[in-house]
């Protein structure tokens, strides 16, 4: 670290304190001038869907009047420099002239979309993830947006839940690292910069643990589990200065998250000292009536504000109820003031009081409309997210001079679908997106032919296109099949009980396989699917998610070997739906199944092997990696010492490639039982063929800490296993003792 003189540091520190102070003072001043109605107005967020093209084009005048009278603090779903400017103008007609904040679901890219978030997580590439959010922020902020409702940092162990596509998978350690990278990317050099947007840690909390994987469903779990598995990414986000949090729709142990005082007030605001504000999820304050937690709007508003929900997204309850509740003495004004203060601070930090139109600049918007550098990055990122599941006969990479290739399946010529769920729609989407067909065609030699047959639709029982697909396959030297689930079959409210390829896709695959032609099976999906027949019978399988604007180029780069795939699964892939939830870091139980085929009086199913189809952290490469010389600095440590772990990784195959080297530990005995494995580190390394490298990890007692049954967070002396390897199942193990 560079050395600075004490006086220089004091000066900088002094300036930042006084800047902060002056914002506080300005907010205090503003608050003292605001009426109760105006305060409530700052807590209101409206969707601009019906006004998306700007207020001038709208027939509905009610919301516009409310904006003019200072009753709307923020809007979502208004996009574009001109559009946001037009709305902002109305807000500035209000008595207090407080600008609005414009929010949007910028979930995996904006103009340039990137792989769906679960796909990004499969890259295990924190730098690229951060950069993708930087790009998203640059593009979105040029379209008048100052706030994204991302990252979703919900840990999710149930692929039936459709929103697994939006998160980083099942692991708390990986999910926390990725969440932090995203926040850094969005918020850039800090709010106030023209290309920095506010990030949102959502959905607070435990939304990913919905019973049965059914969206919006209840969550009932021990506080220990909540703290150990689900809360760490949120705590880290708060510590990293994420600007906002969003409530979750679910109840937690019987109390809706939106009015959960323990979660919002006691933990987030008091213990974690979160400085930003909390926005409700869409209508979640009003939904507390249906939950059976509030009998009417008044009670819902009262419970939400007291618990610590600051902004009301689309329930329209705070404006209607808060002034009354304060006058009746049911809500102390200090709760309203605190919520308004938090929101106003962010408006000041964003610089909106200095220039309310600063993000609404048509020139910038034009520059970011088709940024070729961003697309180039999107193409690389897409390829990095691909996971090679099988390549038994080394069919991949294909030669670009393969004479005839057939692309078969419902997703080959899909364009807009390549975005995956959650993208902001633009009129020119269809023209901008590279389909998988185009991407592959562009890379095949001029003298080669790419044939195409759809074969079937993504989700019906129509087999009338089978014959043409079979004929097409027969003409080809290699068939690339794109199967999976439709892009809108994962995402919000897209829970599925059946995770097989939808419709008649598997039947189509079986028919094509009968032709005897070599098949590359490419799976487009937003979640881990169940494809047992394919996994057992098709030797070449590539998991390609939904890769975004450059999807076709990214996938072609992998198929033809411009890029050697290095992605690793961020979720366990089950053998069948009945095995769900299945995750790598479970407890051992008193009767663990030793082998995958053990059935008798062990914790197992009598009708199914116990291991998953593909384990967490799994992914192949076109090359081979060999692990050796695994050694530890000591097998007996004391107190605050550091354990150094070394392993040599060699690229022994025929291609340059990347490997994610993974470190797991097991705490063998504890005050409470500990998982059989816990990811504690990973490094993504690039090795040229023939090259090898020593990879070093360090562990300190901090990494051994866990929550006990009284929620005390500490580590215990004892025996530990240290494991290193290429995935959560394929590990070398050494044992150590760590004393206090
Ligand atoms: C509901 C979703 O749960 C949330 O994630 C999203 O940000 C809001 N809708 C706004 O679109």
Q: Which pLDDT value is given to residue 10? A: 47
Check 281, 310, 438, 667 and give the catalytic one: 281
Number of other CB atoms surrounding residue 438 within 10 Å: 18
Ligand 1 neighbour 550 (Cβ under 6 A): no
Q: How far apart are CA 626 and CA 354, in angstroms?
A: 58
Q: How far apart are CA 315 and CA 307, in angstroms?
A: 16
User: Which residue of 47, 77, 151, 492 sits with most ligand 1 atoms within 8 Å of its CB, as the best mutation to test the pocket?
Assistant: 492
The protein residue whose alpha carbon is closest to atom 10 in ligand 1 is 282
Q: How far apart are CA 570 and CA 614, in angstroms?
A: 11
Residue 228 forms part of a structural domain: no
Q: Are residues 511 and 648 in the same domain?
A: no
Q: How far apart are CA 647 and CA 724, in angstroms?
A: 8
Ligand 1 neighbour 46 (Cβ under 6 A): no
Ligand 1 centre to CA of 278 (Å) is 13
Ligand 1 centre to CA of 152 (Å) is 10
Q: Are residues 409 and 477 in the same domain?
A: yes
Residue 417 forms part of a structural domain: yes
Q: Are residues 664 and 516 in the same domain?
A: no
Nearest to 198 by CA among 133, 263, 249, 259: 133
CATH code where residue 475 lies: 3.40.50.1700
Q: Are residues 523 and 645 in the same domain?
A: no
Ligand 1 centre to CA of 560 (Å) is 38
Ligand 1 neighbour 182 (Cβ under 6 A): no
User: Which residue of 156, 215, 249, 281 sits with most ligand 1 atoms within 8 Å of its CB, as the best mutation to test the pocket?
Assistant: 281
Residue 461 forms part of a structural domain: yes
Ligand 1 neighbour 147 (Cβ under 6 A): no
Residue 372 forms part of a structural domain: no
Ligand 1 neighbour 281 (Cβ under 6 A): yes
The protein residue whose alpha carbon is closest to atom 7 in ligand 1 is 149
Q: Which pLDDT value is given to residue 55? A: 74
Residue 296 forms part of a structural domain: no
Q: Are residues 559 and 704 in the same domain?
A: no
Residue 255 forms part of a structural domain: no
Residue 307 forms part of a structural domain: no
Q: Are residues 455 and 531 in the same domain?
A: yes
Q: Which pLDDT value is given to residue 253? A: 98
| 343-376 exposure pattern, b = at least 16 Cβ within 10 A, e = fewer | bbbbbbbbbbbeebebbbbeebbeebeebeebbe
Structure tokens at 688: 């040229």
- How far are the Cα atoms of 28, 233, 269 from residue 274, in angstroms, in the given order? 19, 14, 5
The segments of the chain whose pLDDT lies below 50 read: 1-3, 7, 10-15
* Strand intervals (E) in 215-340: 244-247, 251-252, 255-256, 277-279, 312-313
Per DSSP, what are the bridge partners of residue 685?
Answer: 659
Q: Are residues 472 and 392 in the same domain?
A: yes
Ligand 1 neighbour 202 (Cβ under 6 A): yes
Ligand 1 centre to CA of 157 (Å) is 20
Residue 303 forms part of a structural domain: no
- Residue 281 bears catalytic tag: yes
Q: How far apart are CA 528 and CA 334, in angstroms?
A: 47
Q: Give me the domain span that covers residue 639.
A: 625-739
Residue where one domain finishes, among candidates 579, 594, 612? 579
Can you tell me which atom of ligand 1 is nearest the CA of 77? Answer: 11
Half-sphere exposure at residue 733, Cβ-oriented, CA atoms within 13 angstroms: 14
**Strands, sheet with 404-408, edge to edge from the N-terminal-most edge strand:** 387-391, 540-543, 519-524, 478-484, 404-408, 449-453
Q: Which pLDDT value is given to residue 1? A: 40
Count how many domains the chain has: 2
Q: Are residues 542 and 405 in the same domain?
A: yes
Can you tell me which atom of ligand 1 is nearest the CA of 149? Answer: 7
State the DSSP H helix or E strand holding residue 483, giving kind and residue range, or none if neither. Answer: strand 478-484
The radius of gyration of the chain from alpha carbons, rounded to an integer in Å, stands at: 27
User: Which residue of 186, 282, 425 sits with most ligand 1 atoms within 8 Å of its CB, as the best mutation to test the pocket?
Assistant: 282
The protein residue whose alpha carbon is closest to atom 3 in ligand 1 is 281
Residue where one domain finishes, among candidates 525, 553, 579? 579
Q: Which pLDDT value is given to residue 2? A: 45
Ligand 1 neighbour 282 (Cβ under 6 A): yes
Q: Which pLDDT value is given to residue 330? A: 98
Our measurement of the distance from residue 146's CA atom to the centroid of its chain's CA atoms, rounded to an integer in Å, reads 19
Can you tell me which atom of ligand 1 is nearest the CA of 152? Answer: 5
**Chain position carrying tokens 């409210």:** 493
pTM: 0.96
Q: How far apart are CA 520 and CA 677, in angstroms?
A: 33
CATH code where residue 706 lies: 2.60.40.10
Q: Are residues 398 and 534 in the same domain?
A: yes
Q: Are residues 496 and 632 in the same domain?
A: no
Q: Are residues 631 and 517 in the same domain?
A: no
The protein residue whose alpha carbon is closest to atom 1 in ligand 1 is 282
Q: Are residues 690 and 541 in the same domain?
A: no
Ligand 1 centre to CA of 603 (Å) is 38
């Amino acid at each position: 670290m560079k050395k600075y003189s004490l006086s220089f540091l004091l000066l900088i520190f002094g300036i930042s304190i006084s800047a902060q102070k002056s914002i506080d003072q300005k907010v205090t001043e503003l608050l003292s001038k605001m009426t109760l109605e105006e305060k409530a107005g700052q807590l209101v967020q409206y969707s601009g869907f019906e006004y998306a093209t700007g207020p001038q084009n709208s027939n509905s005048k009610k919301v516009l009047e409310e904006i003019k009278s200072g009753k709307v603090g923020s809007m979502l779903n208004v996009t574009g420099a001109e559009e946001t400017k037009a709305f902002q103008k109305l807000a500035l007609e209000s008595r207090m002239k407080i600008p609005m904040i414009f929010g949007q679901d910028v979930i995996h890219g904006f103009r340039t979309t990137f792989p769906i978030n679960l796909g990004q997580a499969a890259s295990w590439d924190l730098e690229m993830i951060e950069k993708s959010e930087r790009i998203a922020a640059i593009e979105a902020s040029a379209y008048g947006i100052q706030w994204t409702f991302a990252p979703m940092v919900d840990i999710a162990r149930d692929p039936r839940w459709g929103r697994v596509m939006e998160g980083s998978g099942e692991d708390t350690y990986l999910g926390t690292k990725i969440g932090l990278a995203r926040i850094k990317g969005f918020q850039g050099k800090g709010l106030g910069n023209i290309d920095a947007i506010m990030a949102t840690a959502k959905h607070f909390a435990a939304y990913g643990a919905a019973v049965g994987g059914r969206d919006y469903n209840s969550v009932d779990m021990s506080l220990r589990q909540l703290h150990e598995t689900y809360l760490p990414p949120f705590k880290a986000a708060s510590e990293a200065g994420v600007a906002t949090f969003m409530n979750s729709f679910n109840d937690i142990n019987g109390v809706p998250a939106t009015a959960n005082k323990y979660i919002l007030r006691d933990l987030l605001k008091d213990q974690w000292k979160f400085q930003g504000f909390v926005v409700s999820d869409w209508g979640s304050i009003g939904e507390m009536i249906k939950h059976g937690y509030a009998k009417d709007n008044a009670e819902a508003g009262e419970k939400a504000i007291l618990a610590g929900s600051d902004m009301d997204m689309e329930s329209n309850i705070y404006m209607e109820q808060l002034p009354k509740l304060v006058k009746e003495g049911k809500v102390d004004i200090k709760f309203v003031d605190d919520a308004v203060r938090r929101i106003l601070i962010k408006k000041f930090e964003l610089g909106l009081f200095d220039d309310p139109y600063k993000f609404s600049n048509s020139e910038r918007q034009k520059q970011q409309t088709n940024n070729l550098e961003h697309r180039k990055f999107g193409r690389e990122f897409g390829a990095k997210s691909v996971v090679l599941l099988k390549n038994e006969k080394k069919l991949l990479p294909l030669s670009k001079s393969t004479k005839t290739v057939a692309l078969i399946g419902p997703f080959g010529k899909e364009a807009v679908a390549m975005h995956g769920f959650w993208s902001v729609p633009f009129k020119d989407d269809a023209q901008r997106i590279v389909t998988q067909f185009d991407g592959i065609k562009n890379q095949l030699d001029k003298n080669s032919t790419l044939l195409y047959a759809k074969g079937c639709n993504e989700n019906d029982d129509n087999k009338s296109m089978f014959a043409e697909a079979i004929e097409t396959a027969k003409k080809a030297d290699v068939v690339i099949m794109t199967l999976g689930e439709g892009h809108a079959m994962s995402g919000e409210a897209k829970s599925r009980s059946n995770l097989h390829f939808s419709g008649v896709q598997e039947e189509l695959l079986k028919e094509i396989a009968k032709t005897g032609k070599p098949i590359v099976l490419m799976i487009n999906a937003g979640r881990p699917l169940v494809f047992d027949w394919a996994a057992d019978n098709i030797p070449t399988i590539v998991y390609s998610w939904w890769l975004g604007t450059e999807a076709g180029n990214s996938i072609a780069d992998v198929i033809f070997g411009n890029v050697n795939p290095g992605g690793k699964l961020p979720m366990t892939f089950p053998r069948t739906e009945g095995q769900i939830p299945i995750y790598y870091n479970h407890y051992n139980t008193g009767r663990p199944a030793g082998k995958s085929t053990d059935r008798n009086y062990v914790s197992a199913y009598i009708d199914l092997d116990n291991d998953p189809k593909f384990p967490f952290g799994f992914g192949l490469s076109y090359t081979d990696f060999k692990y050796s010389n695994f050694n530890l600095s000591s097998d007996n440590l004391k107190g605050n010492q550091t354990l150094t772990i070394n392993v040599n990784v060699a690229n022994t195959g025929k291609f340059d490639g990347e490997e994610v080297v993974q470190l797991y530990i097991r705490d063998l005995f504890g005050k409470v039982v500990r998982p059989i494995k816990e990811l504690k580190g990973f490094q993504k390394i690039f090795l040229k063929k023939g090259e090898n490298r020593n990879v070093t990890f360090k562990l300190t007692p901090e990494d051994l800490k866990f929550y006990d049954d009284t929620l005390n967070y500490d580590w215990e002396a004892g025996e530990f296993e240290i494991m290193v390897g290429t995935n959560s199942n394929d590990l070398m193990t050494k044992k150590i003792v760590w004393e206090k």
